Chain A
Amino acid sequence: KNEVEQSPQNLTAQEGEFITINCSYSVGISALHWLQQHPGGGIVSLFMLSSGKKKHGRLIATINIQEKHSSLHITASHPRDSAVYICAVYFGNEKLTFGTGTRLTIIP
């Protein structure tokens, strides 16, 4: 069965801390998205990657194809990073399968 699991489900941290959110999937994939869902509900695509590592500002995404695992890191976290972060994968076709999300809260 094609499944996507994220951990942790909830994460609270102090401003400035280094954040790591994990995503594991059950079978081989063609690509993986990291999405951010704001408290107001809007969804923004942060990264799409199929191998290696990508960086954008304070955000870093990595993927290990052999271990079927991806991580999203946030350096120097800020209260405006508070959101739900969602991992979504393509299991070889055109439709995304989503993890249940990680709710991140950054306390000033």
Chain B
Amino acid sequence: NAGVMQNPRHLVRRRGQEARLRCSPMKGHSHVYWYRQLPEEGLKFMVYLQKENIIDESGMPKERFSAEFPKEGPSILRIQQVVRGDSAAYFCASSPRGQNTDTQYFGPGTRLTVL
């Protein structure tokens, strides 16, 4: 029973390039959350998705960032025209029902470095 999977684990991009981060939730989980951890800072909520729906994107920067969770395949966090300030660890988590009494299971994270 595989846990939450994220790939790549490490991603290096030059300024202006695009970054695509993937998250496959645990089997049977249809709710996905993305979080960002800037260097030496705490985790911050970015977006909450269900299959084919964005439920809450209040933590997403208004520009360059987008997320999707299609009917088939992993959830994707996309960052266009990356800047140095996007360098961070991006974690996704999944839960079975999306309720605030559910445990969230975290993936290993993707560490993005922007040169």
A contact set with B: CB distance below 8 Å: 30-31, 33, 35, 41-45, 48, 50, 86, 88, 90, 92-101
Contact = CB atoms under 8 A, between A and B. Distances in A.
Contact of B43 (A31, A42, A50, A88): A88
A52 to B, nearest CB: 14
A95 B33 contact: yes
A41 B108 contact: yes
A102 B109 CA distance: 20
Q: Is the interface of A mostly helix, strand, loop or mixed?
A: strand
B64 interface: no
B57 to A, nearest CB: 10
Interface centre among B89, B100, B106 (most CB of A within 10 A): B100
B59 to A, nearest CB: 7
A95 B45 CA distance: 7
A44 B103 CA distance: 11
Contacts, number: 61
Interface centre among B43, B55, B56, B108 (most CB of A within 10 A): B43
Interface of B: 31, 33, 35, 41-45, 48, 55-56, 58-59, 89, 91, 98-106, 108-109, 111
Contacts of B48: 94-95
16 contacts: A31-B101, A33-B103, A41-B89, A41-B108, A41-B109, A43-B91, A44-B106, A45-B104, A45-B106, A50-B101, A94-B100, A95-B48, A95-B59, A96-B43, A96-B104, A98-B45
A95 B101 contact: no
Nearest to B58: A95
Given A45-B103, A86-B42, A88-B43, A94 B98 contact: yes
Interface centre among B44, B58, B104 (most CB of A within 10 A): B104
